[in-house]
Amino acid sequence: MAQGETATMSSGQEEAERLGYSAERLAVLLAEQGEKELAGRARQLEEKLEAGRLSAAFCGHFSAGKSTLVNALCGVRLLPSSPIPTSANVVTIASGEPARAVIHAVVDGEERTIEADPLRLEDYCKNGEVFRSVELTYPASGFGRQTTLLDTPGIDSTDDAHRMATESALHLADVVFYVMDYNHVQSEINFEFAKGLKDWGKPLYLIVNQIDKHREEELPFAEYKRSVEEAFRSWHLEPAGTLYLSLREPEHPQSQFEELKKLLGELEGLRSELAVGSVHASLRHLARSWLKHRLEAEEPQRERLELEAGPEEERAGLQAAMRELEQAAGGAESGPQALEASLQAEIGKILDNANLMPAATRDIAASFLESRKPGFKTGLLFAASKTAAEQERRAAAFEEELGRQVQAEAAWHLADLLRKAADREGLQGPERQSWESGLEAALAWRPDAAWLAERVSSGAVFGGEYTIVYCRDAAAQIKAQLKRGASWGRRAAAAARYAAAAAARRRLARPRRPIRALAGLPPRRGGRAQRARARRCCAGEPARRRSAPQARRRSRQRPERTGSPSPRPREAAPGLPAGAPPRRPAKPHEARAARGPPRACAPRRSCSRRSRRWRA
């Protein structure tokens, strides 16, 4: 048993060290990007892992009783509480001695630390613009020494500073207690906030406060509890637990204040496991927030570039042209070399397969070589002149036959290959005419009689074997000469490709900058509505739901499959205390999208007149 516990502790420590390293790296990255606030939050997560304390955040509407509940857990009135909004910043309360209060303030743009009496904090808690946060240490009786309570402003505040304070508390919280007024439990904003916490990945406990307003003669309390659970379940929300309190009547039979204190003690025992899951979720949320903030910051630049690039229809054509430009730009460097290599290989194949000395040509070559043999003569009278004439005739015949073979077997195929390459490169007009003239000149060479006579070896033993050797050597030299001539056309075709790429670059130089700049920006995540949701998510606000008409239109456009299972809610952190409602298979009428039911599908309000008070 001890070995298993030791292994578990070692694994937890390794995971905490890994997350601490990830938080440090993320802080450095955000600082390099100029996101000082987000970088500071990442460092807070690293410090949180080192502290090893349980952080429990209390959130809810204004005047839902958050501060009163925290005071009850502390056993003394530390925080101001009244029907009007009180806490305007995050108040952190730790159990310990001596009692002290540290206020972090911003005066004239400078951060200052102020120490104050922990029993006189009303002015500090209400002024969130100057006093950013309040840290209290007090010997509390309702929670342990390794637990820290976080009291936050109301989630329904319209003040940006209040929303940022709430988000900073959720950022550090290991577990969230959401406090609701008895009469407003089924308010839509409660479902939306709980949905946001589910997406965040923090364990959520619901606290229904002021249950002393309940009238048992109007509605049994068990029925009220069942309706609350069904309302959240219909939004695919299953909290880790639900508690019911009455701080005005501590002796109320349905109040679970003692169960809340016991729950905090159990959670404190699981603080290491909860901290690992919480930091992991907060790091993921930080990264998403930074990405969304970056997308929003680049939106003005994107709109300016879109205006410069023109309408979307024209931009599509320009983008296609940009792709061609990129291909041409890439081909400007590697294209000519690749074309030359390809043409050189094709030229080699043509010359290797060219049969310049077939049997008929070799017979004529043998006759030509016979005329070059020492002692060759024809006729008896005027033998010298007749011999010279015969030698010239045989040389001319060999020259004509060999020229015909060179044209048919090699030169024509080489010219056809190079002309097709020029066609592919779009070589036209005067440039094409000049290129054709150069190609004809390069491939115009043919072996003449003098060239053939120079290749005859004076000391050779003339015969059938020498004829074969002579024809082979002559064919090889002819092919080498043709290869040098074809190289001119090969280089000229490659130059045409480079010129075409340069022309395309000049032609598209002006629209190139905005198109490339737009391509360099991260893709826009949807339209205006999605960008608005991203801004609300960066500010820590829950996403807004579609109205009933919008939901009906959406369902008509994309009908649902009634037999598909409902999505499983995100699991809470491992090792949470018992109290979460048991999971059950989804019913067919609950197989909806994770966005929650439209307003038209919310629990019906056609109840009796007496029970409308708590459903209003």
- 133 and 228 assigned to the same domain: yes
> Quick one: average pLDDT of 8-28?
74
Residue 423 pLDDT > 90: no
Question: Confidence band (pLDDT; 50, 70, 90) for 267?
Answer: very high
Q: Which residues contact 484 (CB under 8 A, 6 or more apart)?
A: none
In this prediction, residue 591 carries a pLDDT of 40
Q: Does residue 498 belong to any structural domain of this protein?
A: yes
**From residue 111, how far is each of 104, 107, 132 by CA, in Å?**
7, 6, 9
Residue 605 pLDDT > 50: no
Q: Which domain holds residue 595?
A: 54-269+578-616
Residue 66 pLDDT > 80: yes
17-21, 133-137, 255-259: range with highest mean pLDDT: 255-259
- 86 and 198 assigned to the same domain: yes
Give the residue from 494, 517, 540 where a domain finishes.
517
| C-alpha–C-alpha distance, residues 209 and 440, integer Å | 99
Burial track 4-30 (b if 16+ CB lie within 10 A, e otherwise): eeeeeeeeeeebbeebbebbeebbeeb
Higher-pLDDT residue of 614 and 36 is 36
Q: Does residue 452 belong to any structural domain of this protein?
A: yes
Q: Does residue 369 belong to any structural domain of this protein?
A: yes
- 68 and 207 assigned to the same domain: yes
- 485 and 608 assigned to the same domain: no
Per DSSP bridges, beta strands 131-138 and 110-116 are: unpaired
**CATH code of the domain in which 120 resides:** 3.40.50.300
Q: Whole-number mean pLDDT of the chain?
A: 73
- 334 and 463 assigned to the same domain: yes
Backbone φ and ψ for 242, nearest 5 degrees, come out as -130, 130
Higher-pLDDT residue of 573 and 504 is 504
Q: Which residues contact 255 (CB under 8 A, 6 or more apart)?
A: 211, 244, 245, 246, 249
In this prediction, residue 209 carries a pLDDT of 92
Q: Does residue 86 belong to any structural domain of this protein?
A: yes
Say which range, 83-92, 125-134, 565-574, has the weakest mean pLDDT.
565-574
In this prediction, residue 259 carries a pLDDT of 92
Question: Confidence band (pLDDT; 50, 70, 90) for 566?
Answer: very low
Cis check for the bond before 581: say yes or no (omega within 30 of 0).
no
Give the residue from 517, 538, 555 where a domain finishes.
517
pTM over 0.75: no
- 108 and 188 assigned to the same domain: yes
> Quick one: average pLDDT of 18-26?
79
Higher-pLDDT residue of 10 and 110 is 110
> Quick one: average pLDDT of 116-121?
70
Smallest CA-to-CA distance from 16 within 230, 225, 246, 278 is with 278
Give the residue from 492, 517, 542 where a domain finishes.
517
Share of the chain above pLDDT 90, in %: 8
In this prediction, residue 276 carries a pLDDT of 87
Residue 594 pLDDT > 80: no
Share of the chain above pLDDT 70, in %: 65
Q: Are 76 and 118 in contact (CB under 8 A)?
A: no
- 609 and 493 assigned to the same domain: no
Residue 502 pLDDT > 90: no
Higher-pLDDT residue of 532 and 380 is 380
- 119 and 248 assigned to the same domain: yes
- 365 and 503 assigned to the same domain: yes
Q: Does residue 563 belong to any structural domain of this protein?
A: no
- 144 and 262 assigned to the same domain: yes
- In the chain, how many domains are there? 2
Backbone φ and ψ for 481, nearest 5 degrees, come out as -65, -40
Q: Where are the alpha helices (DSSP H) in 357-428?
A: 359-371, 383-406, 412-424
Query: Which residue matches tokens 């009689």?
Result: 449
Residue 207 pLDDT > 90: yes
- 138 and 249 assigned to the same domain: yes
Q: Does residue 469 belong to any structural domain of this protein?
A: yes
Higher-pLDDT residue of 483 and 595 is 483
**From residue 80, how far is each of 24, 71, 137, 438 by CA, in Å?**
37, 9, 16, 97
Q: Are 140 and 91 in contact (CB under 8 A)?
A: no
Question: pLDDT (tens digit, 9 = 90+) per residue, 208-236?
Answer: 999 999 988 888 999 999 999 999 988 88
Helix axes 188-200, 221-234, angle to 10 degrees: 60
Q: Does residue 592 belong to any structural domain of this protein?
A: yes
- 344 and 265 assigned to the same domain: no
Say which range, 57-61, 449-453, 569-573, has the weakest mean pLDDT.
569-573
Q: Does residue 6 belong to any structural domain of this protein?
A: no
| C-alpha–C-alpha distance, residues 587 and 594, integer Å | 15
Name the helix (H) or strand (E) containing 242. strand 241-244
Smallest CA-to-CA distance from 171 within 281, 276, 268, 270 is with 281
